[in-house]
């Protein structure tokens, strides 16, 4: 109801949860619908998308890459460290025709999450800052952490730009 009070005229809702007074699109899973919408929107722009992941240093690296690119291009970047399955789509949905490049940060909590984010953002370039032990409690070993971070590389185009 707060969204309606702020002027929303439509909503994406889970099946059976329509709201009176506004147009609703019912879906099985609102998070998946949100992510699909972000992927569709990103595909409307033929611009470089740089994805950054790593055990540490993601936000600092994102800021540095965006600053360097920003000397020549209009760059959209992840706000703060909104680097998860909700924050990354939020960034992509802010893309406009004015943007000439995009820099996104990708965090993770387990195997498959970097791949999930990369499939949404469809990056053209990737940076893995490092593979440390900050996720050891989730994945059990440094090798498993490297495998999870490596999901980014596997999701890049056939001739990607990779920085490590």
Strand ranges for the chain from DSSP E: 10-14, 23-27, 49-53, 75-77, 101-105, 125-128, 161-163
Report the candidate in 54, 114, 63 with the shortest Cα–Cα distance to residue 85. 114
pLDDT per position as a tens digit, 31-61: 999 999 999 999 999 999 999 999 999 999 9
| Domain limits, the chain | 45-163
pLDDT at res. 69: 97
Burial class (CB in 10 A: 0-12, 13-18, 19+), 137: exposed
Is the pTM above the cut of 0.85? Answer: yes
Alpha-carbon gap, residue 93 to 113, rounded angstroms: 19
Report the candidate in 80, 139, 96, 94 with the shortest Cα–Cα distance to residue 114. 139
pLDDT at res. 68: 97
As a whole number, the mean pLDDT across the chain is 93
At 148 the three-state DSSP class reads helix
Q: What percent of the chain has pLDDT over 90?
A: 77
What CATH number has the domain spanning 45-163? 3.40.1190.10
At residue 138 the predicted structure's pLDDT band, cuts being 50, 70 and 90, is: confident
Residues in contact with 40: Cβ distance below 8 Å, sequence separation at least 6, in sequence order? none
């Amino acid at each position: 109801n707060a969204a309606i009070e702020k002027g929303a005229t439509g909503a994406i809702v889970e099946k059976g949860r329509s709201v009176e007074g506004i147009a609703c699109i019912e879906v099985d899973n609102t998070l998946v619908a949100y992510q699909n919408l972000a992927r569709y929107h990103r595909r409307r722009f033929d611009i470089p998308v740089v994805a950054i992941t790593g055990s540490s240093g993601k936000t600092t690296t994102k800021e540095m890459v965006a600053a360097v690119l920003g000397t020549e291009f209009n760059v959209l970047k992840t706000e703060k460290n909104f680097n998860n399955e909700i924050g990354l789509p939020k960034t992509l949905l802010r893309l406009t025709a004015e943007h000439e490049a995009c820099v996104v940060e990708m965090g993770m909590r387990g195997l498959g999450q970097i791949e999930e984010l990369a499939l949404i953002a469809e990056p053209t370039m990737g940076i893995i800052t490092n593979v440390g032990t900050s996720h050891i409690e989730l994945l059990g070993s440094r090798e498993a952490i490297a495998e999870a971070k490596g999901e980014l590389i596997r999701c890049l185009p056939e001739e990607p730009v990779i920085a490590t």
